[in-house]
Amino acid sequence: MTASPLSAPQGAGATVFPILIAVSLCHMLNDVMQSLLAALYPLIKTEFALDYWQIGLLTFAFQVTASLLQPAVGIVTDRRPLPMSLPFGMGFTFCGLVLLSYAPSYPLLLAGAMLIGLGSSVFHPEASRVARLASGGRFGLAQSLFQVGGNFGASLGPLLAAFIVVPQGRHSVVLFCALALLGIGILARVGRWYGEHLRSTARRVADRTLPLPRNRVVFALAILALLTFSKNFYMASISSYYTFYLIETFGLSTQAAQMMLFLFLGAVAAGTILGGPIGDRFGAMTVIWISILGVLPFTLALPHAGLAGTAILSVIIGLILASAFPAIVVYAQDLLPGRVGMVAGIFFGFAFGMGGIAAALLGVLADVHGLRTVYLACSVLPAVGLLTVFLPRRATFQH
Q: Is 213 exposed, middle or buried (0-12, 13-18, 19+ CB in 10 A)?
A: exposed
240 in Cβ contact with 363 (< 8 Å): yes
172-222 confidence digits (pLDDT tens): 889 999 999 999 999 999 999 998 888 877 655 556 677 788 888 889 888
Dihedral sign from CA coordinates of 142, 133, 126, 397 = negative
For a pLDDT cut of 90, what percent of the chain falls above it?
A: 16
> How far is 34 from 22, CA to CA, in rounded Å?
18
The DSSP-derived string for 114-133 is HHHHHHHHHHHHHHHHHHHH
What angle (nearest 5°) sits at the alpha carbon of residue 106, between those of residues 59 and 346?
A: 25
Q: Across residues 108-115, what is the average pLDDT?
A: 92
Residue 12's pLDDT band (cuts 50, 70, 90)? very low
> How far is 26 from 152, CA to CA, in rounded Å?
11
Check residue 300 and give its pLDDT.
92
> How far is 258 from 163, CA to CA, in rounded Å?
9
Higher-pLDDT residue of 379 and 153 is 379
Alpha-helical (H) ranges within the chain are: 17-39, 41-48, 52-79, 85-102, 106-133, 139-160, 166-168, 177-200, 214-250, 254-282, 284-288, 294, 296-301, 307-322, 324-335, 340-369, 371-378
Q: Which of 157, 179, 141 is nearest to 38 (CA)?
A: 157
DSSP 230: H
Cα of 337 vs its chain's centroid, Å: 22
257 in Cβ contact with 162 (< 8 Å): no
Q: Which of 101, 110, 116, 98 is nearest to 165 (CA)?
A: 101
Higher-pLDDT residue of 247 and 2 is 247
Cα of 329 vs its chain's centroid, Å: 12
Helix (H, G, I), strand (E, B) or coil at 9: coil
Asked if the model's pLDDT at residue 68 lies above 80, the reply is no
Q: Across residues 143-157, what is the average pLDDT?
A: 79
Check residue 46 and give its pLDDT.
86
Lowest mean pLDDT among 114-123, 141-150, 206-215, 375-384: 206-215
Q: Across residues 247-258, what is the average pLDDT?
A: 86
Q: Which of 329, 338, 397, 285 is nearest to 142 (CA)?
A: 329
Q: What is the mean pLDDT of the chain?
A: 82
Lowest mean pLDDT among 40-44, 88-92, 351-355, 364-368: 351-355
212 Rama sector, left if φ>0, alpha if ψ -120 to 50, beta otherwise: beta
Check residue 394 and give its pLDDT.
65
> How far is 33 from 17, CA to CA, in rounded Å?
24
Q: Across residues 158-170, what is the average pLDDT?
A: 79
- Hey, what domains does the chain have and what are their CATH numbers? 17-201+209-396 (1.20.1250.20)
Q: Is 368 exposed, middle or buried (0-12, 13-18, 19+ CB in 10 A)?
A: exposed
Q: Across residues 300-328, what is the average pLDDT?
A: 88
> How far is 233 from 298, CA to CA, in rounded Å?
16
Q: Across residues 229-234, what is the average pLDDT?
A: 82
26-61 confidence digits (pLDDT tens): 999 988 888 788 778 888 888 898 888 888 888 788
Q: Across residues 379-386, what is the average pLDDT?
A: 86
Check residue 205 and give its pLDDT.
54
Higher-pLDDT residue of 96 and 138 is 96
44 in Cβ contact with 50 (< 8 Å): yes
Q: Across residues 267-295, what is the average pLDDT?
A: 80
Check residue 351 and give its pLDDT.
65
> How far is 387 from 293, CA to CA, in rounded Å?
9
Q: Across residues 278-301, what is the average pLDDT?
A: 83
Q: Across residues 136-149, what is the average pLDDT?
A: 82
DSSP 12: T
